[in-house]
Amino acid sequence: MQVSVALIRPLVVRTVPVGDPGDLVSCLPDTAPYAWIRHGEGLVGWGEAARATVPPGPDRFRWARDWMSALFADARIDDDVEVPGSGPVAFGSFTFEADAPGSRLVVPRVVLARRGGRAWLTTIGEDDHDAGHRPGLRTPPTPPGRIRYGDGSLTALEWQHAVAQAVRQINDGRLDKVVLARDLTAVAENDIDVRFLLSRLSTRYPECYTFSVDGFTGATPELLVRHRGNAIESLVLAGTTPRGADEADDLARGAALFASSKDRYEHVCAVSSVREALAPLCSALDVPDEPELLVLPNVQHLASRVTGRLSDGASVLDVVAAMHPTAAVGGTPTGTALEVIRELEGMDRAGYAGPVGWIDARGDGEWGIALRCGQITGNRARLFAGCGIMGDSDPVAELAEAQAKFRVMRYALES
């Protein structure tokens, strides 16, 4: 276990209203940016006031919650805004597997935020509260240049074989569904500037949640949980088809997805797992009877928006702990699906399909499932995509779906 606090305790925190900063990504310096943006709103941060490397294990979310509580309990907080996301904020990413190392929480020294017509700046240990976001301190992001792609842990044919094995196990009755992921490698001509990726992702995929934590960057369509006071919200996605070649093809694909018994059953499994996770925490829970169609630039999803009210004042990390992993990224039943993933994927997912997001000192926050993402290190990126495998899944079609999901990060990398 490693825990470090970069400033002398207690933390001295100041949040003040500011004028509209414009594009949030353009305000970021070139040093390890943090981000959570949707439709131009959200939070960006830089610098490091405190960091925790979360020890692996079944109690990691509770450990993270307790670390946050202890860190913020004696902080001197002067917050003139007092909304979710003001005051001290930690950005975090958790690995998909509970026993895998690599989960972390980071409290930036500076956080710039905008939501609902309001903007604010939070600084920790900074006397000059305007110094953190003067435009003159910014350098423009550098494009990565030429990109070379390569296979990750499995080749395309090897991954198709893994899908076929999963289908056999499903049809033999071992499980109902499993999500299999694959990775690709990308090597750029220049070091990859995360701000370049954030700008392209947030512009091209505004409906998604564009995120960055320690170079782990992407644009996920799936909101695991939004926590504001006692109100929570989750967007469940399961069932996918690529976009069509034209409007008529697009409409036909969406209609076929909505009518697909395979995709509808996959979606039912995902919604059921969310309902079962949230019901013990909630005094009220609203789960729609029918999904809607979420249309993104690269794919279409079946989507269900689940809302509820917490009964016992749980923090957002308590809700994340109850929900992860959902059937949408693991499978059904969950325990068996995780066994099959370990047997067939042939790789460490690291943060892919794990929770990513932010939490403030009140326990409010927003966490997504890390999809359509990659880990950036220097001029290299490891990209991830996954598909829900059912008994009638076709390995060739599943590979095509994974390729469609890879387009998100390939678009971000290619100038």
* Residues annotated as part of the active site: 177, 222
In terms of DSSP bridges, do strands 147-151 and 104-107 run parallel, antiparallel, or are they unpaired? Answer: unpaired
pLDDT band at 5 (very low <50, low <70, confident <90, very high): very low
Q: How many domains does the chain have?
A: 1
Query: Is the peptide bond prior to 10 cis by the omega test (within 30 degrees of 0)?
Result: yes
Report whether pLDDT(133) > 60. no
For position 9, what pLDDT does the model report? 66
Predicted confidence band of residue 309 (pLDDT cuts 50, 70, 90): very high
What pLDDT was estimated at residue 71?
Answer: 94
Q: What percent of the chain lies above the pLDDT cut of 90?
A: 88
Torsion over CA: 192, 193, 199, 202 (sign): positive
Is the pLDDT at 130 greater than 70? The verdict is no
pLDDT number for residue 1: 43
Rounded-to-integer distance, Cα 54 and Cα 36, Å = 20
Task: State the Cα–Cα distance between residues 252 and 369, nearest whole angstrom.
Answer: 28
CATH at residue 104:
3.60.120.10
Query: For the chain, what percent of residues have pLDDT higher than 70?
Result: 95
- The pLDDT, as a whole number, for residue 415 is 75
Within 10 angstroms of residue 255's Cβ, the number of other Cβ atoms is 12
Region 170-195 average pLDDT: 97
Q: Return the pLDDT at 31.
A: 81
Tell me the two tokens of residue 43: 């939070």
Nearest-angstrom CA–CA distance, 367 and 222: 9
- Give the per-residue pLDDT at 131: 46
- Supply the range of the domain harboring residue 7: 2-413
Identify the residue with better confidence: 130 or 407. 407
Instruction: Please give the pLDDT value at position 135.
Output: 41
- Amino acid code (one letter) for 251: L
Residue 247: per-residue pLDDT: 93
